């Protein structure tokens, strides 16, 4: 099986598994237990993982709050900020993940005002559109760094700079940023969400960066019961998962230093060129340049995506969009926001390249997908 669905999840790195294993067995202490050595050892491991994540995104370890994943981080950032600010307006973008759009819907249901901004045909939101949407009551702007379906890189730094001048905090969902640089100071954001299983770490753990300086970002917690994570997220910390997340963060940094994004980008371009040469009617969805190295989303004219995925599923793992959306078989709201026709959206396929993807695999995927597409056309399956 050739796995090209790395946006949905990534395989846990063997080094991550090795780092976690002792914390499931002989080092089983609760990190909140301060009366014995097992607790102190667990606490030290948690802080080591926290430091590794902080080093990855360029912040203080005290600004890293552990959660169960990016969905919880997004909810804490959005709902927690609105509750703490006491103001009733928030801004986001139409192509955000449901883990952002659904909390915004919850705000609307609670009677608060929200603005959902459109994007252009490449999936980019205009910084000027964000500025124009700001109101005196605006408490938060939430813009993702990398889109999970079309890989578009949003102008987060420009948006954050404009918002900071106006005293409005910015949240960024960076769950899909495994192949791009993440620096919270360079981005200028006040809150940033991460998820371990998107960066070759374990499922069930994530983090929220919460700025503590210049200026301090205030949050109201969503759950109570023990005051863990400086009172922002109560609950016993999963020490093995935190250790794994820390190791995954170190390996992300090492991969960037070794030029891994450049390698993956070249493979992505090879895939697009190969498909375009072998199959007529291949159209790129999303931007050609402002795009994450590991993402390719194309539509193949006259070939229904679900039929294509079924045809290649024994050899290639692909998807037609967000794993969350596939649970309900909804039409992609991201492609709809780009203004694509229903037929083009229904024929879209997402390729998510990863750390273990090879040139030989890409060549085989070109062969398998192009062959399946032509066969489906011959059979008249649309």
Active site residues: 324
Radius of gyration, CA atoms only, the chain: 21
**Does residue 153 contact residue 125 with C-beta atoms inside 8 Å?**
no
d(C-alpha 50, C-alpha 57), whole Å? 11
Task: Please identify which residue in the block is written with the tokens 């307006």.
Answer: 89
The two tokens of residue 332 are: 């992609």
Work out whether strand 2-3 and strand 316-317 pair parallel, antiparallel, or are unpaired.
Answer: parallel
Opening angle at CA 295, ends 195 and 360, nearest 5: 110
d(C-alpha 213, C-alpha 188), whole Å? 12
- Helix/strand/coil for 170: strand
Burial of 67 from C-beta contacts in 10 A (0-12 / 13-18 / 19+)? buried
| DSSP output for 238-252 | -HHHHHHHHHHHHHH
How many CB atoms are located within 10 Å of the residue 96 CB?
26
**Does residue 225 contact residue 268 with C-beta atoms inside 8 Å?**
no
User: Measuring CA to CA, how many Å separate 45 from each of 233, 250, 252?
Assistant: 18, 14, 19
Residue 146, phi then psi, degrees to nearest 5 = -130, 125
DSSP3 helix / strand / coil % (the chain, rounded to 5): 45, 15, 40
d(C-alpha 304, C-alpha 343), whole Å? 8
């Amino acid at each position: 099986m050739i796995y090209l669905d790395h946006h949905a999840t990534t395989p846990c790195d063997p080094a991550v598994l090795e780092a976690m294993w002792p914390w499931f067995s002989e080092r089983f202490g609760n990190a909140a237990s301060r009366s014995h050595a097992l607790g102190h050892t667990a606490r030290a491991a948690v802080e080591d993982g926290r430091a590794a994540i902080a080093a990855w995104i360029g912040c203080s370890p005290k600004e890293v709050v552990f959660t169960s994943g990016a969905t919880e981080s997004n909810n804490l950032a959005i709902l927690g900020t609105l509750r703490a600010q006491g103001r009733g307006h928030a801004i986001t973008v139409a192509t955000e993940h449901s883990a952002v759009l659904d909390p915004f819907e919850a705000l609307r249901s609670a009677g608060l005002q929200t603005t959902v901004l459109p994007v252009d045909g490449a999936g980019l939101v205009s910084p000027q559109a964000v500025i124009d949407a700001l109101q005196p009551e605006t408490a938060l702007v939430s813009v993702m760094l990398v889109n999970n379906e079309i890989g578009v890189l949003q102008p987060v730094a420009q948006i954050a700079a404009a918002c900071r001048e106006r005293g409005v905090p910015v949240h960024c969902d960076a769950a899909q940023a495994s192949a791009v640089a993440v620096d919270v100071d360079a981005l200028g954001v006040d809150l940033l969400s991460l998820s371990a299983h998107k960066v070759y770490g374990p499922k069930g753990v994530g983090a929220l960066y919460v700025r503590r300086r210049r200026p301090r970002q205030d949050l109201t917690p969503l759950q109570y019961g023990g005051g863990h994570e400086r009172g922002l997220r109560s609950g016993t910390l999963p020490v093995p998962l935190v250790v794994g997340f820390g190791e995954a963060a170190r390996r992300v940094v090492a991969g960037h230093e070794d030029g891994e994004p450049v390698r993956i980008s070249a493979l992505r371009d090879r895939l697009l060129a190969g498909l375009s040469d072998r199959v007529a009617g291949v159209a790129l969805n999303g931007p050609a340049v402002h795009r994450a190295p590991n993402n390719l989303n194309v539509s193949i004219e006259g070939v229904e995506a679900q039929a294509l995925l079924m045809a290649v599923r024994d050899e290639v793992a692909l998807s037609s969009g967000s794993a969350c959306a596939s649970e309900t078989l909804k039409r992609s709201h991201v492609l709809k926001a780009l203004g694509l026709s229903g037929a083009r959206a229904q024929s879209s396929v997402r390729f998510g390249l990863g750390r273990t993807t090879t040139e030989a695999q890409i060549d085989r995927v070109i062969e398998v997908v192009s062959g399946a597409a032509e066969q489906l056309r011959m059979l008249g399956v649309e």
